[in-house]
Amino acid sequence: MREYCFIDLFAGCGGLSEGFYRRGYHALAHVEINPAACETLRTRMRHYGYENAGEAVLEMDITREDVLERMEKAVGGRKVDLIIGGPPCQAYSSLGRAKDDHGMQEDPRNYLFESYVKVLNHYLPRFFVFENVTGLLTAKIKGEHIVNRVVEALGEHYKVKFDPGMNVLNSANYGVPQIRKRVIIMGVRRDLKTEPEEMYEAVKKTHYDPEMPEESRGSLEKYVTVRDAIGELPFLRQGEGAPEIPFQYTYGNDFLQKIGAPGLKVLRDHVARGHNETDMQRYETMAKNHWTFQEMLEKREDLRHEKARVFGNSYTVQWWDLPSKTIIAHLYKDGNQFIHPDYRQRRTFTVREAARIQSFPDDFIFRGPRTEQFKQIGNAVPPLLAEAIAAAMLVKLRETDSEEAGNDISLSR
């Protein structure tokens, strides 16, 4: 059975790629501009036995005129079966638009999808996967929904079906201990018989989420919880921990067995941030009483935040018996939205805890300082969600093998 090859654009630290690695795909090239994320990508490629990680990870601005020339050197004439990736999401996110006086109208990142399309139309793989935040659905430029422009551009040589009810996937439905909804646009080259709807049907849900009506759950498994993901990790107080410590993994549930690495004897990046005493009192009080931030403000005047800017989600405890809220890149600034559910620990999530909530394998190594590690994790596609997509793609690629062999593909490059 032949090996299928992919290119990853706007690769970040490789959360999307990880799902494809785990399903046996071969990476030809990753394009990413962030140096720390690139070093993480190279490290992971070496983990999987690649000897050309230095050449295959292209640390560059994808809008450069010579992007295709540089990619050709990395691809080396190999056939590209699949292109995956998604432009940076800040310009499409509701948070980014709220913070910008012009609603991100002038942000050049609004148009980075054009660079994705440029590479896509050059290689013309059978399928593509385009990922982004749900803010893409409502973002507008000069009164026009940007998603319509994205779908139109992607559809030049591809069959693309856009329906939010189909295109929005929740990672909790695929065994990730996190509520994380993302727009996943999958396209099929026009000369192939496969229809886009078939791609989504092949991405099989395995778990129900807390919001799913009971009558819709059927035989799906219960969602994976914060406790399932991080309950076994060592107790830490603020400032405690080390970059590497000896650790005996339990693999005590299905989730841990999926992200575990048999033979691994070291726990990485389980280091608690330093916190001031007032914040630690807030963390402890909220977790112990099962309070929201607003409830704490109402009942504990002494713990009121000194700044006037107070929102209900400024401080949030992630509860043991539910999936976590969406892990965000803002973690690099502070972890206040990710307070540990054990009130005795009086702290926010560590890098490794955030990585587990995102379903990164325990042997996944993040490069760069802690701030960069948190950014990488918060911006990533959860690997278990990526793996569900990769598994569906694998079925369709095998189905189209004989079809493509019998076709005279006339699409010009």
Which residues have a catalytic role annotated? 89
Backbone conformation region of residue 49, classed left if phi is above 0, alpha if psi is from -120 to 50, else beta: left
CA dihedral of 57, 58, 62, 65, whole degrees rounded to 10: -150
Residue 402 host element (H or E)? helix 383-405
Residue 141 host element (H or E)? strand 140-141
Estimate the share of the chain in helix, then strand, then coil, as percent rounded to the nearest 5. Answer: 40, 15, 45
CA 22/CA 48 separation, integer angstroms: 10
Bridge-based pairing of strands 82-85 and 26-32 is unpaired
CA 359/CA 104 separation, integer angstroms: 31
Enter the DSSP assignment of 129.
E
How many beta carbons lie within 10 A of that of residue 233, not counting itself? 17
CA 306/CA 326 separation, integer angstroms: 26
Q: Bridge partners of 128?
A: 83, 187
Q: Bridge partners of 129?
A: 84, 186
What amino acid is encoded at 54 in this protein?
A: G
Contact of 104 with 97, CB cutoff 8 Å: yes
CA dihedral of 283, 284, 286, 288, whole degrees rounded to 10: 150
CA-nearest of 385, 380, 293 to 329 is: 380
3 state DSSP class of 405: helix
Contact of 303 with 282, CB cutoff 8 Å: yes
The pair of structure tokens assigned to 99 is 């913070």
Contact of 347 with 275, CB cutoff 8 Å: yes
Query: Which residue in this structure is represented by tokens 């493509």?
Result: 404
